[in-house]
Structure formats: structure tokens, C-alpha cells
Amino acid sequence: MENKKVLLGMSGGVDSSVSALLLKKQGYEVMGTTLELFAGSSCCNISTYIDAKNVCNQIGIPHFTFNCKDEFNKYVISDFINCYANCKTPNPCIECNKFMKFGIMWNKAKELGCNYIATGHYAKTEYNKKYDRWVLKKSNAGKKDQSYVLWNIPKEIIEHVIFPLADFEDKAEIRKIANDNNLKVANKPDSEDICFVPNGNYKEFLEKNSDIKSKEGNIVNVQGQILGKHSGLYKYTIGQRKGLGISYKSPLFVLGFNKEKNEVIVGEEKELYKKEIRVNEINLLLFNEIKETIEVDVKTRYSSKVAKAKIIQDSEFINVSFKEPQRAITPGQSAVFYIDDIVVGGGKII
């Protein structure tokens, strides 16, 4: 008899709450869990636990909390700080998914005798006959699809992952289900910020929680000409135009950084475009390795559109050649590769 026990990650929001309802209606033996990650964060505070527990009580499933603050600090906060210290722009959700939701939570699920874990992400898993393996795919949610932030999950657990919201196209449908079932979180607003930076001020967070502090340096162009001053490399991102404080004959944008010289490098918009990039920290889901050049669609930010490209693996790296030059490619962000709606895998932009 199939083990239909599933451990569902619950944030106290409407997506994971409706996921609990759907799983129960589909005949799963559902357990809810809320991971304690960072005190005072938007997904780890007293109202989060109360909302999640109340939903579980209402629909008649158990709820567990696990203290994972040390692990979150080790795998997510430390990486966030380290990226900014090295002039990279991180995406902490990707680290959290890899190590916390699809790492630690999966281990907790096995301890509880579960065969599956689930989350309220907008993504899809299914067995694919062509590739003879379980695959991670885009959901039907269009712009709300979250497969981009899931590329780094361990491939061996894909067959044990359920995304109950995979086939919904609109958030309004989710809220209607919640309202129809009298869930109190039905109209709870979505959290848009980084969970551990709930006020959105990541610079303040870095200054309070790391050795990163304001340090004046030069703003220069590609030729090395000094055009102005900055007060800390971590305060700038590639593609940034506003807040440079420079008068120039044409608009200037941040192109990159020279950490050794403590310089922000700026240039004109045409200089922001790149046709080739390299990624490391690879995680391939569809293949074990990429031995020959293949054509894929690539996303270089969560909010960016896909771009056509060719990729090939070079030991620990993947080389990406875009069909058309791409704007403001940012080290530290993820490049995620797709064939149609299937996630091939991804890596961190160097």
C-alpha cells in the first residue's frame, strides 16, 4: 500500500494553507510544519506560527515547528553576507529552498515516516517518459511561476516533492478556495521582501549583522577616469542608474566593481549588454552532465524574460552563449536553463 504521508511546509500564508486543503482532499495524510528560521522575519514570527497552526487545527491535521535558526544562519544568512562582501548580488530564497525546505524539511519528513514533502510554490513535478526521469517544470501560473528559485533542489528528491498549486493560473483562484473554506488567512497579503529583511533595507541589515560598513571610494569609468565618490560597494547593483550623484554627458549605469581598489565602475547603457557568461555551483536536474552544446531558454533573474542560448559544460562550469546580448547580467544571481517548460538545471553567475 502506497505511503501517502506528506509533510507540508507552512508559512501561515494563503498559498501553503490552500495547499493543505488540496492535499487532504486528494487523500494524503497531511502534516504541517513551520521551520523557525530567523527571529522577527516575515516568515518566522509569532503570527506566522499562530496562523499556520490555526489553519491546521481548522482542517484537522497536526502541526509541528522545528527550530532551524542555526542552520538558516549557516546556509542562508552567511551566504547573503558573503555575496555582498564579494560584490555579488545573492538570491537567498534559492539557498533557503536548497538547504532548508528541500534539505532539512525532507530529512524531518523521513523522520516522521513521510514519503513526500510539499510546499505552496507555483511549480510542477512529474515523471517524463522522454527523459525517463522525474522532472521539475514550470507551473501554469505564468509570471507567478517559481521554478526559477527551485533549480538548486536535490534532483534525487524530485519524485518525493508535491506542488499542489501547480495547475492554478491565478492567485485569485487560491484566495477563492480559501474564502470558500472560511480560512482566516484568505486575504492575508503576500510577502514581497526578503523574509529576514522585512523592511526591505538590506544595507541596514548588512551593517548591523556583519563587518560590512560604509567605506568611501571612487566611481570610475572603464578607462579608470574618476567621476565621483561612493560610500560602499554593497550599496550598488549592476544596472543601477539612480543615486550615482554624477553629472555626465549621457546617463551612466553601474557596470561592475573593482573590490581590490574599492571602485564602482560605471558606463553607458550599451556597455551593460553581454553575449556570453559563465556559471558555477552547477545543479543539473534533467541530465547528469552536458557533454555537447544544447539549445535552451535561460532566465538570469526571477523577473526576467527567458532568452535563447546555447550551453555546454566545462568541468565545474557551464558556458552560456546568448543569441542576443542580455542586459545587466549580475554575478551572484542564478542562470536557470529550460527546455520548453522543463528545468534543465542552473548555476550561479560568475
Kindly report the CATH number assigned to the domain that includes residue 322. 2.40.30.10
Q: Are 227 and 266 in contact (CB under 8 A)?
A: yes
Alpha helices in 10-104 (DSSP H): 14-25, 46-59, 69-72, 78-85, 92-96
The percent of residues above 90 in pLDDT, for the chain, comes to 91
Do 91 and 238 reside in the same domain of the chain? Answer: no
The pLDDT confidence band at residue 160, using thresholds 50, 70 and 90, is very high
Q: Any idea what DSSP says for residue 41?
A: B
Annotated catalytic, 87? no
Residue range of the domain that includes 341: 273-349
> Is the model's pLDDT at 88 over the cut of 70?
yes
The pLDDT confidence band at residue 227, using thresholds 50, 70 and 90, is very high
The pLDDT confidence band at residue 295, using thresholds 50, 70 and 90, is very high
Annotated catalytic, 43? no
pLDDT mean over 213-236: 97
Question: Can you spell out the DSSP letters for 210-231?
Answer: SS-----EEEE-TT--EEEEES
pLDDT mean over 277-284: 98
Please report the pLDDT score of residue 234 as a whole number: 98
> Is the model's pLDDT at 191 over the cut of 90?
no
pTM of the model: 0.95
Please report the pLDDT score of residue 224 as a whole number: 96
> Residue 179 phi/psi, 5° resolution?
-65, -45
Q: Could you tell me if residue 38 is inside a domain? A: yes
> Is the model's pLDDT at 45 over the cut of 80?
no
The percent of residues above 70 in pLDDT, for the chain, comes to 98
For 52-81, the pLDDT digits (tens) are: 999 999 999 999 999 999 999 999 999 999
pLDDT mean over 34-48: 77
Tell me the residue type at 258: N
CATH number of 39's domain? 3.40.50.620
Do 292 and 337 reside in the same domain of the chain? Answer: yes
Catalytic residue among 43, 44, 56, 96: 96
Nearest partner of 53 among 11, 108, 85, judged by Cα: 11
> Is the model's pLDDT at 199 over the cut of 70?
yes
Please report the pLDDT score of residue 43 as a whole number: 62
The mean pLDDT of the chain is 95
Consecutive H or E run containing 318: strand 317-327
Q: Could you tell me if residue 239 is inside a domain? A: yes
Torsion of CA 2, 97, 51, 53, to 10 degrees: 40
The total domain count for the chain is: 3
Do 160 and 64 reside in the same domain of the chain? Answer: yes
Instruction: Give the least confident one: 184-198, 264-278, 333-347.
Output: 184-198
Catalytic residue among 43, 56, 114, 195: 195
The pLDDT confidence band at residue 193, using thresholds 50, 70 and 90, is confident
